[in-house]
Every structure is written in structure tokens, then in C-alpha cells.
């Protein structure tokens, strides 16, 4: 990395959760499951779901405004907006363009990218790479937004038990050399391409399609490939796993996160989980968890932080950062 040009890091985070909390009994009843099944299988006890009038853009804007406030950046300071979602309000134009319009970020480019539940990490990679390549580019806003509930069959226990809705956002900004993103890694294993999918209806069929999941394939993919992508990202940063202070994973399943921490030889107190309280919020999961971990001061200035996700396809990603927290930096 060319450290002479300074770093690029996360300088503000925001999140939004819908107000309607739904506990497990309602989901278990709809999916024909015995009481207690969901918590036993996933660790999830509650999720928050949108109501009829809620939109992906409105959630994205709410999370973005909080992130911009935290970063002390005006919408006019944005050079790029990246929308990460597979559940936008429109097939096109991009959700990022709608956020651009609502925020009045007239100086920014805007587009969406698709990497399912690891899209936020991929968006952070694209955004930080763009800032490294273009020293004139303003701040980058990366948004993960998910209204998964509208793509679920509530009588399908293989998918209905996991998901919640929400949005998370991060503002990327320039930080001193040696801080911010140190390395990124993305890799794909596509043998299980069909294992998690949301198909388009066949033309003229009138069919409505829903998320389909093969949980066994998801487990195999994550257990087999996600630890490796983290190890490669950490090595690419010139560090070892012992150097990592804190991990934030895509919040798919509490048991999987416990397993990942074990594979990486890390004590459980070096990660943050909220899947128990909000479920799997897809692209929003990583930024919401990161936002809450920072709010709760689980991450501090100078910490080496790894964010890692896995998305259908399957695409695995990990980013390594040295955390920059301006208030403590100015005190030290």
C-alpha cells in the first residue's frame, strides 16, 4: 500500500431498523415449527420487519443521514454513493440514485452493486479503492439496505426463520497514513450457485417467486471457505491473526459466528453479535453490527478490525482496517 498518500477509512456509521418487532412464536407458528426451534437453530429471538408503506430508499436515507452526521460530512461532500441491496424498491434505476436524489448529493456519482449479504464489505472495498485511485474524490457513502421480508414465504421454515429488515451505512473518508483499510479480499465458490437464490418469475407465468435456501449447503460453504478469506486478507495486510483485535461478521447465524471465531483462534469477546436481537438483515447486517459495536465502544482507536461476509453465489469477502477514531486520536 502507498502510505505516503494517506489512508481511507470509515469515518461515520449509521443504522435504521423498522419499528415492528416480531418475536419467534409468530414465525414458528407460521412455519409449522415447535416453540423454541428458531432460537435453538439460529440463536435468533427477534427481528424487525417493515410495514406496507416502508421503502428501501427511506431506510437507506435514514441510515445514511446518521452516518453523515457521525462523520460530520454534508451530502455536498460526497463523491460517490454505493447502494448494496437485492431488495430495492425498483428493479432500476439504482437505489443509490434515489438516495442521491433525496439527500441532494449533487456532486456524487451513484450506482448499486450486487454481492448479496457480503455486498457492504464489497462496497467498502470498491469505495476505498476508488478513493485511493482518485485523490480528488470526495467522501464515499456505502449503504446496505434489506427488505428481505417481502421475498419470504412465511410457511417455509428453511428461509423464514432467519431474516429481518433494516439498513446500515458508512461514510468513507481520508485518514492518516497507516489507518483505515489495510487490505481487502474477495473470492467466490460457485459450485453451490443454486443453493440460495431468488429467481425471476418465468415470463408470462404470473408466478411469484421467493427466497429459496439449502441450509446444509450454506453451512458447508461458510465453514469451508469463510475462515480462509479472512486469513488471506489478514496476511495481505502484513499481519497475523494474533494482531486482530476485533471481528465483525455478517450476522447470519449465531452458531456460525461462534464457529468462525473458533476456526480463527479468537476468543468470543473479540466479536460483536446482534443476530440474536435483529436476525439476518442481509446487506444491512455488517454495517448495522459495525455501527452498534462502535456505539458500544467495543472498537477503539488503533484496533485492527476485520469485517467479513458471505453472500449467495457464493461470494466471500473480508476487509482489514486499523480503526481511526478522531477524538481519541487527537487526545493521544
Partner 1 sequence: MSGRLEQLHHVVALALNVDDAEVGDDASMDTVGAWDSLRHLYVVMAVEEAFDVKFDDGEAVAVTSFALIRGALERRGLTFSS
Q: Which is nearer to partner 1, 167 or 222 (CB)?
A: 222
Note if 117 is an active site residue. yes
The nearest distance, CB 257 to partner 1, in angstroms, is: 10
Q: Which is nearer to partner 1, 150 or 225 (CB)?
A: 225
Choosing from 100, 132, 184, 250, the catalytic residue is 250
Distance of CA 104 to the CA centre of its chain: 24
Report CA-CA distances (Å) from 308 to 99, 150, 203, 222, 257.
Answer: 25, 26, 36, 11, 11
Note if 301 is an active site residue. no
Note if 291 is an active site residue. no
Q: Partners of 280 in the beta sheet?
A: 163
The nearest distance, CB 259 to partner 1, in angstroms, is: 4
Nearest to 293 by CA among 246, 236, 233: 246
The nearest distance, CB 309 to partner 1, in angstroms, is: 17
The nearest distance, CB 224 to partner 1, in angstroms, is: 5
| Binding-site ranges for partner 1 (CB under 8 A) | 41, 215-216, 219-220, 223-225, 227-228, 253, 255-256, 258-259, 262-263
Q: Which is nearer to partner 1, 26 or 223 (CB)?
A: 223
Q: Which is nearer to partner 1, 3 or 224 (CB)?
A: 224
Q: Which is nearer to partner 1, 181 or 314 (CB)?
A: 314
Q: Which is nearer to partner 1, 236 or 263 (CB)?
A: 263
The nearest distance, CB 41 to partner 1, in angstroms, is: 6
The nearest distance, CB 215 to partner 1, in angstroms, is: 6
Q: Which residues are the active-site residues?
A: 117, 250, 280
Amino acid at each position: 500500500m502507498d502510505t505516503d498518500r494517506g489512508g481511507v477509512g470509515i469515518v461515520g456509521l449509521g443504522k435504521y431498523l423498522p419499528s415492528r418487532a416480531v418475536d419467534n412464536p409468530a414465525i414458528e407458528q407460521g412455519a409449522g415449527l415447535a416453540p423454541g426451534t428458531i432460537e435453538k437453530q439460529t440463536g435468533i429471538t427477534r427481528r424487525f420487519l417493515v410495514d406496507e408503506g416502508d421503502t428501501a430508499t427511506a431506510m437507506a436515507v435514514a441510515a445514511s443521514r446518521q452516518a453523515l452526521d457521525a462523520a460530520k460530512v454534508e451530502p455536498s461532500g460526497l463523491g460517490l454513493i454505493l447502494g448494496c441491496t437485492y431488495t430495492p424498491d425498483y428493479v432500476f434505476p439504482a437505489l443509490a440514485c434515489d438516495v442521491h436524489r433525496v439527500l441532494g448529493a449533487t456532486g456524487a456519482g451513484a450506482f448499486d452493486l450486487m454481492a448479496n449479504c457480503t455486498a457492504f464489505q464489497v462496497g467498502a472495498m470498491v469505495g476505498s479503492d476508488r478513493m485511493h485511485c482518485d485523490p480528488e474524490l470526495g467522501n464515499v457513502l456505502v449503504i446496505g439496505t434489506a427488505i428481505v421480508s417481502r421475498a419470504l414465504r412465511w410457511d417455509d421454515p428453511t428461509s423464514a426463520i432467519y431474516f429481518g429488515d433494516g439498513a446500515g451505512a458508512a461514510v468513507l473518508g481520508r485518514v492518516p497514513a497507516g489507518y483505515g483499510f489495510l487490505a481487502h479480499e474477495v473470492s467466490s465458490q460457485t459450485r453451490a450457485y443454486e443453493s440460495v437464490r431468488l429467481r425471476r418469475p418465468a415470463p408470462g407465468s404470473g408466478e411469484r417467486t421467493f427466497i429459496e435456501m439449502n441450509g446444509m449447503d450454506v453451512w458447508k460453504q461458510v465453514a469451508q471457505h469463510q475462515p480462509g478469506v479472512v486469513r488471506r486478507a489478514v496476511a495481505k495486510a502484513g499481519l497475523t491473526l494474533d494482531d486482530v483485535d476485533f471481528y465483525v461478521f455478517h450476522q447470519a447465524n449465531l452458531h456460525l459466528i461462534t464457529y468462525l471465531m473458533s476456526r480463527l483462534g479468537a476468543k468470543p469477546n473479540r466479536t460483536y453479535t446482534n443476530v440474536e436481537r435483529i436476525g439476518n438483515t442481509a446487506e444491512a447486517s455488517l454495517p448495522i453490527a459495525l455501527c452498534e459495536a462502535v456505539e458500544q465502544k467495543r472498537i477503539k482507536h488503533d484496533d485492527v478490525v476485520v469485517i467479513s461476509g458471505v453472500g449467495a453465489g457464493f461470494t466471500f469477502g473480508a476487509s482489514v482496517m486499523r480503526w481511526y477514531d478522531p477524538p481519541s486520536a487527537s487526545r493521544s
